[in-house]
C-alpha cells in the first residue's frame, strides 16, 4: 500500500523549517562564500585527470595481457569514476567556479559520464536542503536505512554493481531509470520523482532531454568503439560508474544514516566525517556535510575552513570507522525499538535557538533551485 503524501505545493506553503546555524560573522561568511576559478579548475580537471590516468593504465595492462594488473587497475578506475556524482552535486549548486557558465559546462560533462540526471536532481536536492530529513518535504533521504555490510552485497560493490541497494545505484536500476525517463515515463516505484514533476511540470521535459543526451553520448561511445575496434572503450567509460563502487559507498552512507528526522538543527540530522586527502578530494569535500547543509553557499574547497570557524559550536567530526560503528549500532537498536533515533551529542556551550529571520546568504543553496523554486529560496531555510 502506497503512503499518501501531501502535495509538494502545499508543503512549500505550510512547512517552514527555521534552521539553527552556527554564528559566522557576515564578512567572514561572504569571504568563505566567494568561489575561485583557479580552485574550481583544480578540482574539476583534477578529478577528470585521475580517471583519465587510471583509464590509460587499465588499457595498457589490457594490451600487455597483464590480467592481474588489468583487473586491479579497472577496479581502481571504477572507484575513482564512481565519485563523479559528488562532482555533479557540487557543480549543481553553482558554487565551484566564480565564472557561472563553467559550473554548468562541467556539470553536463560529469552528468553524461555518470548517468546523473541533473534536472531530476536539482528539483529533489532543493527540497532536500530546505527540508532536510523532514519527511513531508524531503524524500530524497528516507529513514530508517540499513548500512549493510553483507558479504554478497560488499562483493558486488567491490566488483560490478549489478542490482545496487541503499546508496548504491546499480546497473539494472540505473538503466531502467534512464530509459524510462528518456521515454517520459515515471514508473510507480519512483513516487518522489512523480511528485516533483506534478509540482513543477515545466521541469519534466528538461529531465527527459537530459536522459536522452546521456543515452546519445553512450551510443556514440559504443559506435566509436565498434568502428575503430577499441573494444575496451565501453568498459572504461560506459560501464565504469558501476565498477568498484565500495569506496564511494563506504564514504557516502554516513552523511544522514541513523540520525534524527523532524529537527531544525543540521548538527542532529547530518553527519560530518574526517577523511584522508585523496578520499576527500574525490568526494569533493562533502565529508564536511553538516557544514555544507548549514551554509550551502560556501564552495566545497572552503568547507574545512568553515568547520574551523564554527568548531566550538559543532559536534566533533566522526572518523569513517567511527561513523560506521555508530550507524551499525543505531541499526541494531532500531531492530528492537523502531522509534529509536540517535541524538548527536553537542558541546555544552553549543547554541540551540534558531531565528526566524535568516539573511539570503546564510539560507542560500547557490544556483541549485530550478527557476520555479528559486524565487522562494529567501523564505525557506536549509
Give 61-82 pLDDT, tens digit per residue.
Answer: 999 999 999 999 999 999 999 9
Confirm if 69 and 105 have CB atoms less than 8 A apart. Answer: no
Which pLDDT score is estimated for 200?
Answer: 87
The DSSP H or E segment spanning 222 is helix 204-227
Q: Is 280 exposed, middle or buried (0-12, 13-18, 19+ CB in 10 A)?
A: buried
Give the range with max mean pLDDT: 152-166, 182-196, 348-362.
Answer: 152-166
In this prediction, residue 382 carries a pLDDT of: 41
pTM for this one?
Answer: 0.95
In Å, how far are 53, 59, 78 from 73, measured between CA atoms? 10, 9, 9
pLDDT tens-digit readout, 213-255? 999 999 999 999 999 999 999 999 999 999 999 999 999 999 9
User: Look-up: residue for cell 543526451?
Assistant: 213
Number of other CB atoms surrounding residue 155 within 10 Å: 11
- Extents of the domains making up the chain: 40-379
What are the DSSP E strand ranges found in the chain?
Answer: 273-274, 318-319
The mean pLDDT of 323-335, rounded to a whole number, is: 98
Phi-psi region of 243 (alpha: psi -120 to 50; beta: other; left: phi over 0): beta
Is the pLDDT score of 151 beyond 60? Answer: yes
Q: For residues 178 and 212, give the distance between their C-alpha atoms in angstroms, rounded to a whole number.
A: 8
β-strand 273-274 against 318-319: which pairing, if any?
parallel
Question: Which pLDDT score is estimated for 5?
Answer: 87
**pLDDT at residue number 214:** 99
Give 164 or 220, the one with higher predicted confidence. Answer: 220
Question: Does the pLDDT of residue 128 top 90, yes or no?
Answer: yes
Confidence band, pLDDT 50/70/90 cuts, at residue 379: very low
Indicate if the pLDDT at residue 381 is higher than 50: no
User: Mapped to the 3 state alphabet, what secondary structure does 32-83 carry?
Assistant: HCCCCHHHHHHHHHHHHHHHHHHHHHHHHHHHCCCHHHHHHHHHHHHHHHCC
pLDDT band per the 50, 70, 90 thresholds, residue 54: very high
Residues 73 and 64: their CA atoms lie apart, in Å, by 13
C-alpha cell read off for 311: 568548531
What are the backbone dihedrals phi and psi of residue 318, each rounded to the nearest 5 degrees, phi first?
-75, 155
**Residue 287 is placed in which grid cell?**
565529508
Residue 188 has pLDDT above 70, yes or no: no
CA–CA separation, 133 vs 131, rounded Å?
A: 6
- What is the average pLDDT score of the chain? 94
For residue 113, the Cα-to-chain-centroid distance in whole angstroms is: 15
Proportion of the chain above pLDDT 70, given as a percent: 94
pLDDT at 164: 87
Cα–Cα distances in angstroms (integers) from residue 62 to residues 56, 189, 280, in the given order: 10, 40, 30
Give the SS3 label for residue 272.
coil
Amino acid at each position: 500500500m502506497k503512503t499518501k503524501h501531501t502535495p509538494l505545493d502545499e508543503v512549500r506553503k505550510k512547512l517552514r523549517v527555521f534552521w539553527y546555524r552556527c554564528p559566522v560573522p557576515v564578512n567572514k561568511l561572504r569571504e568563505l562564500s566567494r568561489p575561485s576559478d583557479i580552485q574550481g579548475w583544480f578540482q574539476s580537471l583534477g578529478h577528470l585527470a585521475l580517471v583519465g590516468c587510471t583509464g590509460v593504465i587499465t588499457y595498457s595492462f589490457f594490451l600487455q595481457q597483464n590480467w592481474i594488473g588489468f583487473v586491479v587497475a579497472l577496479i581502481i578506475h571504477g572507484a575513482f569514476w564512481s565519485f563523479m556524482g559528488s562532482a555533479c552535486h557540487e557543480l549543481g549548486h553553482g558554487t565551484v567556479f566564480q565564472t557561472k557558465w563553467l559550473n554548468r559546462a562541467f556539470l553536463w560533462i560529469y552528468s553524461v559520464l555518470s548517468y546523473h540526471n541533473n534536472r531530476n536532481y536539482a528539483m529533489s536536492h532543493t527540497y532536500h536542503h530546505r527540508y532536510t530529513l523532514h519527511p513531508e518535504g524531503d524524500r530524497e533521504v528516507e529513514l530508517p536505512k540499513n548500512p549493510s555490510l553483507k558479504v554478497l552485497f560488499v562483493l558486488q560493490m567491490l566488483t560490478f554493481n549489478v542490482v545496487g541497494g541503499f546508496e548504491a545505484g546499480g546497473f539494472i536500476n540505473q538503466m531502467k531509470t534512464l530509459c524510462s525517463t528518456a521515454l517520459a515515463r515515471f514508473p510507480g516505484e519512483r513516487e518522489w520523482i512523480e511528485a516533483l514533476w506534478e509540482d513543477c511540470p515545466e521541469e519534466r521535459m528538461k529531465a527527459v532531454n537530459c536522459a536522452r543526451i546521456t543515452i546519445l553520448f553512450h551510443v556514440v561511445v559504443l559506435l566509436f568503439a565498434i568502428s575503430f575496434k577499441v573494444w575496451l572503450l565501453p568498459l572504461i567509460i560506459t560501464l565504469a560508474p558501476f565498477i568498484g563502487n565500495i569506496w564511494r559507498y563506504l564514504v557516502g552512507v554516513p552523511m544522514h544514516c541513523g540520525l534524527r528526522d523532524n529537527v531544525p538543527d543540521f548538527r542532529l540530522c547530518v553527519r560530518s566525517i574526517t577523511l584522508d586527502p585523496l578520499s576527500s578530494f574525490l568526494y569533493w569535500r562533502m565529508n564536511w556535510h553538516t557544514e555544507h547543509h548549514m551554509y550551502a553557499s560556501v564552495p566545497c574547497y572552503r568547507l574545512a575552513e568553515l568547520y574551523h570557524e564554527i568548531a566550538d559550536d559543532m559536534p566533533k567530526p566522526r572518523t569513517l570507522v567511527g561513523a560506521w560503528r555508530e550507524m551499525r549500532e543505531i541499526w541494531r537498536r532500531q531492530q528492537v525499538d523502531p522509534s529509536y533515533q540517535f541524538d548527536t551529542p553537542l558541546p555544552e556551550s553549543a547554541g540551540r535557538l534558531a531565528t526566524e529571520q535568516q539573511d539570503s546568504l546564510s539560507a542560500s543553496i547557490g544556483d541549485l533551485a530550478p527557476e520555479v523554486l528559486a524565487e522562494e529560496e529567501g523564505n525557506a531555510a536549509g
